[in-house]
Structure 1
Amino acid sequence: MADPIRLVLADDQALVRGALAALLDIESDLTVVGEAGRGDEVLAVVERTGPDVVLLDIDMPGLDGIAVAAELHRTRPEVRILMVTTFGRPGYLRRAMDAGAAGFIVKDTPARKLADAVRRVHLGLRLIDPALAAESRTHGASPFTAREREVLSAAAAGGSTAAIAERLHLSEGAVRNHLSAAIGKTSTTTRAAAVREAERFGWL
């Protein structure tokens, strides 16, 4: 009999992490070898436990799941990455796959499908939630340049145009221009509305 597929679970909600571990450990060919509650703990857990597949949440303290996926893909390319998240936003899907994730499913996926997703990803296949894949084809690609995204992210954190300019080492005029472009691309009228729209699609 083949060795079970070794898993690491990363989710900042202990109850969710525990539930996932219990569901997956029921499967005879899967075993959870490590857990992390923060994004900046994942790499150390992976180094210590040597998993085959890492299940990553997106919204975690320390480091978000997409940044973790990119670093994991760079340093441990043999480890397969499955994003398991509450946030089924099309922009997150595109960014996660660009970061090196092999799969992306939402947390309300039935246990049997989750286990099957782990097996498929382990085999080297790609797996994407079908509804999210369809939505991603319509809304997935971010319309922003890298600088527009940076400025809009800074705006999301709050602060005046002058404060954003100082933080990003830009002129106030450049900040206003980037915010204006972002507002236009989201078909909104204020920077607050542009931030909300960008967050809704997972572009920030």
Structure 2
Amino acid sequence: METAIKTYLESYKQICNEITEEELLYVSKKLTISVFKPKQYYLSAGQTQTAIGFVIKGLLRSFYVDEKGNEITISFIKENEYATDYGAFIRQKPSKYYFQCLEPTEIVNLPYSEMQAGYDLYKNIERYGRLVTEEVLVMQQTRLESFLFEKAEERYLNFLKRSPDLFNRISLTYLSSYLGIERQSLSRIRKMISIK
């Protein structure tokens, strides 16, 4: 438990290196830790996320269920990333997405109410919140633009470039859903690339 909180606070310092010991102490007193087994849900569609989750160990996938009942993967969340439907979280509205653990997962949680109180009390905590928001926005924009401007093969290659550590941790089914490619097409692309 102590190690998980220490890891979280270290990541806080990396994003906002002006953070003071007093501010870190304030944050550390508000944290809780959740532990999940594979296939368990950190958050389900329809739930309002009351605390933002930072992944210490493990891997989750975020997905929604379309009108035909298909699960469409929209992201993978690994160590040192936030497990959150950020738009819903900052408005405290129900999420449209499921966050399911793919591996044994440990998450540090910072309650929304405490986060907001920290923004009012400390300028560096507010700055940290802004920097995280910017990071989330860039990730969402990158994903959107990959569908607008890249062919299937480019999306696959860029995924490998950005997340080489994830390739052996996720199934082809989840990966093909995430990339918006039929599983057979993804297998073909992989075969073609291995021949080149």
Give TM-score, length-normalised by structure 1: 0.30
Greater radius of gyration (CA): 1
Give TM-score, length-normalised by structure 2: 0.31
Q: Report which of the two has the higher share of strand.
A: 2
